Amino acid sequence: MKLTLGFSPCPNDTFIFDALVHHKIDTEGLEFEVVFADVEQLNKWAFQAKFDVTKLSYHAFTYCVNDYALLDSGSALGNNCGPLLIKKPETILTPKSKIAIPGKYTTANMLLGIVFSEYQNKVETLFSDIEDAILTNEVDAGLIIHENRFTYQDKGLEKVKDLGKFWEEETQLPIPLGGIVVKRALPLAIQKKLERVLRKSVEYAFENPNSSANYVQCYAQEMKKEVVDAHINLYVNDYSVSLGKKGEQAVEMIFEKSGKASSSVFVDP
């Protein structure tokens, strides 16, 4: 059976999906047609139920939980890995300030709305362009995710607030950034098979960290190896193997904070 699969070219995604895509593990008869896209594009496609399986932001998931169920493996979720609001040192922010965000439906933007509700002048910007948008004065500040948290200081920018740290202090839970979901319309047996296969792919990636190096670097957009490695180490962890009880609580908290509580988030046991 062939499934359509959407995920981002970011190192954490290519790292966890490498073994699955390249049949380094037993995929139990499943084949995959892969499409790469920025996470906000994946979010919007998820609203159209475009792919059988897709990466998306947890905030976006609250809008399409009727179409998709969350897989236990593959999530980007953890501590000290949340979005950062950054600016130039000399910039003074006001409610009128222009803020670059990596997408309306990202978990990052949801957190910005909770912490700084007064900032409504938002500009949707590709996550990798946010630092430059600040430096060229297109915006006054920006909300960064992914590998940019490792590079902004080198460009003379400073942190206003760590929104992930705010979440952790507020909830005592890890911050759920992105997850992997499967269409509820697929037979439950296929959903469970996919859950097993994805977990094997993540476990293989941990056991053979160099195996995915070429695949990861191919899509890393000239990222330095040390940044790639730091990115993977930050966003791929035990929660990526299995959410566990604490991870599940964190996901349920996202739904609660968004005002879209759902009784059915996960693939049925």
Q: Which residues are catalytic?
A: 146
Contact 107, 57 (CB under 8 A): yes
- The rounded distance, in Å, linking the Cα atoms of 75 and 95 is 33
Sorted by sequence, the CB contacts under 8 Å of residue 95 that are 6+ apart come out as 118, 119, 120, 121
CA distance 223 to 57: 22
Encoded tokens for 67: 């179409």
CA angle 231, 234, 238 (to 5 degrees): 130
Phi, psi (rounded to 5 degrees) for 54: -150, 150
Contact 157, 100 (CB under 8 A): no
Output the DSSP codes for 160-181.
EEEHHHHHHHHHSS-EEEEEEE
